[in-house]
Structure formats: C-alpha cells, structure tokens
Amino acid sequence: MLGASAAELLDLVAQMAEFDVAPNTASFNLVLKAMCQAKETLAADKLLQRMLQSGNDALPDDESYDLVIGMLFSMDQIDTAFKYIDLILKSGNVLSMKVFMNCAGSCVNKGRLDTLVTIIERCRASDQNKALCPNWDLCNFIVEIATREDNSKLAFYGLEFMAKWIVKGERQRPPIYISVDEGLVLSALLTAGRTYNTDLLVASWAVLDRSLRKKKAPNPESYLGKIYAHASLGNLQKAFGTLNEYESAYGDSGQEAEDLFCPFTSLHPLVVACSKKGFETLDNVYFQLENLNRAEPPYKSVAALNCVILGCANIWDLDRAYQTFESIGSTFGLIPDIHSYNGLIYAFGKLKKTHEATRVFEHLVSLGLKSNAKSYSLLVDAHLINRDVKSALAVIDDMRAAGYEPSKEMLKKVRRRCTREMDNESDARVQSLANSLNYQLGSENRRDILFNLNYSMGYA
C-alpha cells in the first residue's frame, strides 16, 4: 500500500466490513500516516475522533497520537494538539519523547510559556511521563526564553532538566562532564530576584555549583546576581552570607576590588534592601554584623558596613551614617576604605552640609587614600545642592587634574544649575569644557518650560 492516498486507504477500511473484518488500530494508523504525508489535518482530526468513539480494538495508541499531534504542531495548530496531549495525560497513556519535544519547542517559539509550564507539571505528576526531558539544546533555549520573559516557573523547570543531563553525564563510563553557561545562570538569578522566586534562586546556584565542580569560583557577576536575588527577597542574612563568600573569592583583587565592592553600583541592591524599612532594618543589620564580629571565626567586612552607611544616607539619617563610619575602626577594628568616605560625603551632601563633606574629602586625601571619580562626583553634587556653581566647577578642575574626566551627566547637572542661577559666565565654562570632551549636552527646553511656568492659585 506504499504511495496510496488517504482516500484509497479509507475505502479499503470500509470494504473490510463486507468480509466481516473489523478495522483495528493498525488499520487506522496506516490511514493516519497517509493523511500526515498529505498534511490533511482536518481529516486526521476527524479520524482520530472516530477511533476514540469506536471499540477497544480500534482505540488510538501511542503511534496514533504521535502522528496526529506531530502533524498539528507542524501546521501550527497548537490548540488542537494540546487537546490531544491533555487527553493522553488524563487517560494515563505515555507521552512519547517526540511529542514532548515538539510540544516544548512549539510552546517556546509561539510564546505559550504558561501552557508549557502546565504540561510539564502534568507530566511530573504522572508516573508514566515524569522521566520526560528535552534535549540539552532545547533546555538551554527554554531557560533563555523563560528568563527573558520573567517566567520563573519555566526557568526553574528548564534548569531542573539541565541538572538531570549533568547527573546523567557524570554517571556515564567514562563520565561526560556537561556545564551550564554561567551567563545563562546569571540571567536565571536576576529573574529570581525580579520575580521573588526562592526555588529558582536555589536551583540556579545549585546548577552553577555542579557545573563548576569546585575547579574555580563563580564569576563576580554571579555572586552579585545572587546577592541581588536574596536582597530582593528580603533575606538579608543570606545576602550578607553571599557577600562573605564573594569577599573570600575576590577580596584580594587589588584595584579591581574597588569596583567589585562599590555600594553605589555593584552592591547597590543590598543597600536598597538595608534601607527598605528605614532605621529598623538598618539597626537590625548593624547589630547582626556586631554579633558576627564576636563569633568564632569572626566575620568582619568593610563592604557590609559601607552598605549600612549608604543605607543611612538614603533615609537622610546623618547621625547613624556617621556612627557606623566611626564603628568601622572603633568596634570592628577595620580601616575605612574609599567607599566608606564616599558614603559619608554623600550623607553630608544630601543634607546641604557641604563644608563637612569637603572636610571629609580633605581628610581622606591627607590620609594618603586615593580618591576616585565617585568622590569628586559626590562633592560636585554637594556644591550643586547648595547652589554653588563656581565651587562645583573648581572641584571638576581638581578632578581633571587628578586624572579623571567628568561625565556628560555631571556637566548637564552643572549647566542646569547655571541656568537656574543665571550664571552665564559659569555656563560658558561648562559649554567650553563639554566641547573639549566632545560632549553634546543638548537642550533643556522641556525642563525650562516646567521651570518657567507661572503657577497661580487663580483660574484662567
């Protein structure tokens, strides 16, 4: 019957009744194969329905479902395919690997991520289908799309599938070592933080740990992603525990460590989490750090205390910020670093205490501590808050003399203050400096409209 059309085969099936022979599942499967070759989806759907309504001898088997579902997916008739997958799972039949792979690939390509999550959960709940697992490339694709769409459940299941492949490879003889791309794990960690999913966070780190096999430490970005996720979930104890691991791995990185442990950038999520509930959270964090300082072995961290200092500055609590800064040396026996001083400058600047901020800057310079670009930027902001444009420009001159270039955003802020104060001379200096650095500052028309609005209590 090779090459026969579906119509011819259906005629043969009909003629079987003349000889008192009832068509069975194999008979209908031959017809389904012909329909699949001709892409007759509607006819195949009706024939499968007929098989379901017939007696036991002609009920669809795994091959019947594979043929029809595979064709439906290839023709983008996803909803109809899902109907039969649901029927397979409800009836307790085995979902073939081919159908499962087609289903997973189609769901991801068509953006039906929640539907795929439901199917995976149904398979996991079934003894016959819980071992189903996509191939390695599809697992990577699933996790990539799931993290891009912030679907934490699907990302979690994708990582679970990848963990199965890793374990399976290690049990081979000889073993095959498979590793997950660390960038993919970082995306999953960030998704866990954005969606507040603890399971995804734990799974991501476990898969990364298994992939690295203790041969190297995770990259700094991975540690920072884990800190962000814990901080987002409000689990500050685990966040600071991760910070401890991070410092153990990269604390001796020299000049590079300055950026790795900066509370204004790298550790900013931890700073935000510390100040989320105001002084209540900040005090709890500080007292926990004090207790850890007395533990065996003691945990002492300038980076952790810097997060508290900046957190205090964020809630405008200058006294707590200064007391925390003082405790770095008096209570913890540590030496403040440049970030500690920058946090204090920021705290003074926010409250218009420009003189004190300047004194802190001068003090750190007198100690031989090298100021960074952030130090100058914070000092410029402190002067601008006090509407002192000329002092801000003087700091920028010092900044350039120290080998740092002002950012475009910094110059825009200075120019904006020049406009507000009608300081045309300083404005010309800013424009000249911007030209020398090839910055196009652009116009401030929209801001100026708002600034120049004539507010009145009367009605027009």
Residue the block writes with tokens 């679907």: 151
- Residues 247, 253, 258, 259, CA torsion sign: negative
Delimiting residues of CATH 1.25.40.10 domain(s) in the chain: 1-128
The DSSP code sequence of 203-233 is HHHHHHHHHHTTSSPPPHHHHHHHHHHHHHH
Residue the block writes with tokens 């920028």: 396
For 1-128, the fitting CATH number among 1.10.3720.10, 1.25.40.10, 3.40.50.261, 2.60.40.1180 is 1.25.40.10
| 3-class SS string, 365-382 | HHCCCCCCHHHHHHHHHH
| Tokens encoding 92 | 């307790």
Tell me how far apart the alpha carbons of residues 212 and 75 are, in angstroms, rounded to a whole number.
Answer: 41
- pTM, to two decimals: 0.84
CA-based nearest residue to 360, from 342, 374, 339? 342
Tell me how far apart the alpha carbons of residues 311 and 293 are, in angstroms, rounded to a whole number.
Answer: 20
DSSP 93: P
Residue the block writes with tokens 């459940």: 153
Tell me how far apart the alpha carbons of residues 394 and 387 are, in angstroms, rounded to a whole number.
Answer: 14
| Tokens encoding 222 | 């991975």
Contact 348, 356 (CB under 8 A): yes
C-alpha distances in angstroms, 362 versus 55, 324, 341, 368, 383?
A: 92, 20, 10, 10, 15
The per-residue pLDDT string of the chain (460 residues; one tens digit each, 9 = 90 and over) reads 455 565 655 556 665 666 656 666 777 777 777 777 777 777 777 777 777 777 666 677 777 778 888 888 878 788 888 888 888 888 777 888 888 888 888 889 888 899 899 989 988 888 888 888 899 999 999 999 999 999 999 999 999 999 999 999 988 889 889 899 999 999 999 999 999 999 999 999 999 999 998 888 999 999 999 999 999 998 999 999 999 999 888 877 665 667 889 999 999 999 999 988 888 889 888 898 888 888 888 888 899 999 999 999 999 989 999 999 999 988 888 899 899 999 999 999 999 999 999 999 999 999 888 889 999 999 999 999 989 899 999 999 999 998 899 988 999 999 888 888 888 888 888 888 888 888 887 776 666 676 666 666 655 4
